[in-house]
């Protein structure tokens, strides 16, 4: 009986909370309608599950505010290139830009986006409760904060974790690897002619650096020291991590050396790989039975431990407002709404990757999305890296240049075109040159 009363009480509180929440949101939108009715905004975004999530929220927003939104959707590389090339141009009629975490320092440096801090204090633009500034996963928000200025609002945070096939692991009597050595030994056992043991993005350029940075810190390596402005690449830890990646090469699929995030995702979804070290943002696609043959067959785990510890990183996408936009306030209100605490569950249900704490911590969501617990665990691993004063994405406007240099030499070492020693020495020299400029 007591339990029943408790449940009824919880239900009443929940219903009241939802009602109050809905009222707050309606008040917010009504306020926006009086100020910005008829405004037209252009969102520049890339094809991404997060974009699908945002698009699902648009009809209600437009209906209640009168703000019309159109989307200019392009490939990831094209969006980044176009943004970096033309963000200062008033001729580029974008109001909102989907910004990759790696490029956010550069956005601020190049004066491309509006710092959001002051606007977010305005209760008509972003009222504290339905918006919920404190509810963002702190690590995701920090990706878009430079010198205490908020460049963008995170909406599709990602960390990197381990995905594996439960059925194949059970067949071999294996459990999720706890160390990278164990991961390698699992790879040897899982590789067959039809199924690769491991997939991950490892192709030339920034994607190589993205993945390598996951291995650098567990093996005792480093990238740059921004306090002393020095490249820290030519060291034994980095050599060990590259050596380890090379050892994985035979256990990847044929053509592994040219795998990018999309090929890696496809391999898992088609059941052609037993394990994947990839972005958490892809897991929603893995678990979609309409798209994936392996939906329901996968399990997720935090990254294994290396000789120097277990670390992961955080990446992701945020929404920023272009400095030359003529509708800055309306655009900021729109991105505050789309990334708000009140709408995040709806966004996630439409396929968007999670970036708010209350959705991640919700037990119902954890039961529904088997990768949420692993996401929380790898966020802890990323926090451990932050605690060391390090990050997989160092906050410098030069990171985009640096990561490409590392990814080019790294890829050449990975396929055996260069020795690891030569690659690291060259990388260090080139990165130092970039830092000195």
Query: Which stretches of the chain bind other proteins, using CB under 8 A?
Result: 81, 84-85, 88, 110, 203-206, 253-255, 257-258, 260, 263, 272, 400-401, 404-405, 408-409, 411-412, 414-417, 426, 430
Please give the structure tokens belonging to residue 150: 């908020």
Distance (Å, rounded) from C-alpha 396 to C-alpha 400?
9
Nearest approach in angstroms of CB 203 to other proteins is: 5
**Residue (119 or 251) nearer to other proteins, CB:** 251
Distance (Å, rounded) from C-alpha 300 to C-alpha 163?
5
Nearest approach in angstroms of CB 207 to other proteins is: 8
Nearest approach in angstroms of CB 430 to other proteins is: 5
Distance (Å, rounded) from C-alpha 390 to C-alpha 283?
26
Distance (Å, rounded) from C-alpha 202 to C-alpha 261?
8
**Residue (173 or 255) nearer to other proteins, CB:** 255
| 364: number of Cβ within 10 Å | 9
Distance (Å, rounded) from C-alpha 386 to C-alpha 71?
35
**Residue (18 or 258) nearer to other proteins, CB:** 258
What is the maximal distance between C-alpha atoms in the chain?
A: 73
**Residue (84 or 376) nearer to other proteins, CB:** 84
User: 54: number of CA atoms within 13 Å, CB side?
Assistant: 30
DSSP state of 317: E
- Per-residue b or e along 2-28, where b marks 16 or more CB atoms closer than 10 Å to that residue's CB: eeeeeeeeeeeeeeeeeeeeeebbeeb
Nearest approach in angstroms of CB 280 to other proteins is: 24
Number of H helices, E strands in the chain: 20, 12
**Residue (255 or 363) nearer to other proteins, CB:** 255
**Residue (170 or 417) nearer to other proteins, CB:** 417
Nearest approach in angstroms of CB 65 to other proteins is: 34
Q: How far is CA 255 from CA 211, 244, 323, in A?
A: 17, 18, 42
Nearest approach in angstroms of CB 265 to other proteins is: 14
Distance (Å, rounded) from C-alpha 301 to C-alpha 374?
5
Nearest approach in angstroms of CB 255 to other proteins is: 3
**Residue (60 or 404) nearer to other proteins, CB:** 404
* Residue from 23, 33, 98 nearest 67 by CA: 33
Nearest approach in angstroms of CB 401 to other proteins is: 5
Asked if 276 and 251 touch (Cβ cutoff 8 Å), the reply is no
Nearest approach in angstroms of CB 322 to other proteins is: 15
User: 96: number of CA atoms within 13 Å, CB side?
Assistant: 32
**Residue (87 or 153) nearer to other proteins, CB:** 87
Distance (Å, rounded) from C-alpha 354 to C-alpha 341?
11
**Residue (165 or 344) nearer to other proteins, CB:** 165
Q: How far apart are the first and last CA of the chain?
A: 72
């Amino acid at each position: 009986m007591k339990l029943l009363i408790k449940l009824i009480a919880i239900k009443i509180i929940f219903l009241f909370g939802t009602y109050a929440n809905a009222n707050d949101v309606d008040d917010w939108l009504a306020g926006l309608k009086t100020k910005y009715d008829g405004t037209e905004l252009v969102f520049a975004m890339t094809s991404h599950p997060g974009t699908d999530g945002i698009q699902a929220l648009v009809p209600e927003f437009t209906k209640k505010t009168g703000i019309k939104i159109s989307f200019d959707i392009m490939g990831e590389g094209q969006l980044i290139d176009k943004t970096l090339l033309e963000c200062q141009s008033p001729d580029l009629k974008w109001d909102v830009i989907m910004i990759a975490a790696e490029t956010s320092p550069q956005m601020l440096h190049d004066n491309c986006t509006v710092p959001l801090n002051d606007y977010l204090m305005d209760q008509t633009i972003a009222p504290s409760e339905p918006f919920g500034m404190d509810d963002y996963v702190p690590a995701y928000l920090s990706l878009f904060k430079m010198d205490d200025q908020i460049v963008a609002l995170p909406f599709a945070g990602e960390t990197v974790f381990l995905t594996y096939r439960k059925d194949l692991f059970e067949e071999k009597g294996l459990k999720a690897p706890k160390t990278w050595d164990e991961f390698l030994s699992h790879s040897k056992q899982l590789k067959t002619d039809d199924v690769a043991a491991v997939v991950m993005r490892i192709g030339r350029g920034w994607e190589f650096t993205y993945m390598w940075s996951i291995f650098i810190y567990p093996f005792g390596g480093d990238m740059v020291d921004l306090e002393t402005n020095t490249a820290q690449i030519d060291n034994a830890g980095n050599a060990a991590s590259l050596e380890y990646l090379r050892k994985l090469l035979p256990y990847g699929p044929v053509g592994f050396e040219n795998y990018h995030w999309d090929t890696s995702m496809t391999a898992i979804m088609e059941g052609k790989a037993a394990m994947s070290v990839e972005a958490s943002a892809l897991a929603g696609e893995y678990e979609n039975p309409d798209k994936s043959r392996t939906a329901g067959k996968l399990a997720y785990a935090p990254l294994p431990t290396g000789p120097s510890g277990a670390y992961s990183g955080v990446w992701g996408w945020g929404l920023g407002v272009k400095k030359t936009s003529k509708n800055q306030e309306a655009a900021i209100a729109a991105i505050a709404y789309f990334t708000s605490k009140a709408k995040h569950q709806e966004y996630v249900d439409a396929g968007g990757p999670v970036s708010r704490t209350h959705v991640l911590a919700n037990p119902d969501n954890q039961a529904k999305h088997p990768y949420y617990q692993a996401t929380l665990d790898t966020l802890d691993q990323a926090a451990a890296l932050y605690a060391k004063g390090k990050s997989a994405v160092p906050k410098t406007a030069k990171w985009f240049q640096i990561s490409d240099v590392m990814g080019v030499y790294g890829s050449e070492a990975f396929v055996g075109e260069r020795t690891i020693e030569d690659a690291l020495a060259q990388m260090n020299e080139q990165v130092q040159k970039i830092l000195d400029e």
